[in-house]
Amino acid sequence: MSRHILLGAALAVVAAPAIAHHSFAAEFDINQPVQLKGEVIKMVFTNPHSRIFLKVTTASGEVQEWSIEGGAPNALIRRGWNRDSLPPGTIVTVLGYRARDGSLSASGGSVTLPDGSSLNATDTGAGAPQ
């Protein structure tokens, strides 16, 4: 009996970090692509995923706060991102895939800046030297 309880506790502890770091398919749906245009609230370079918080106004005028998940900081830095890439207030267009649970979050693909240039935020491939 006590062994089962111990195992349960161990699983609970192991499961917690898994909420933060996961496969794409576990949280996002490849069949639900989404395009979002909005204002950057902030961008955080955190491991294991970076995150862009975006204020989006819908066609009906509702203001929504989206969380766009991207690759790890190291991967993004290799693709040219830095702390000045998305200052708060920047208007961006993000292509991504919606979360399966219907929350206002998505896995980010490309992020297009006001000048038309774009950055790749995808959470695939670290881009590390082979």
Rounded distance between C-alpha atoms, residue 108 and residue 100, angstroms: 14
Using CB under 8 A, which residues numbered 49 to 78 contact another protein? 73, 77
Note whether 127 binds another protein by CB under 8 A.
Answer: no
Which of 90, 89, 98 minimizes the C-alpha distance to 67? 98
Note whether 126 binds another protein by CB under 8 A.
Answer: no
Question: Given the complex with another protein, which of 16 and 59 has the nearer CB atom?
Answer: 16
To the nearest whole angstrom, how small is the minimum distance from the Cβ of residue 98 to another protein? 25
- Residues at the interface with another protein (CB under 8 A): 1-2, 5, 8-9, 12-13, 15-17, 45, 73, 77, 81-83
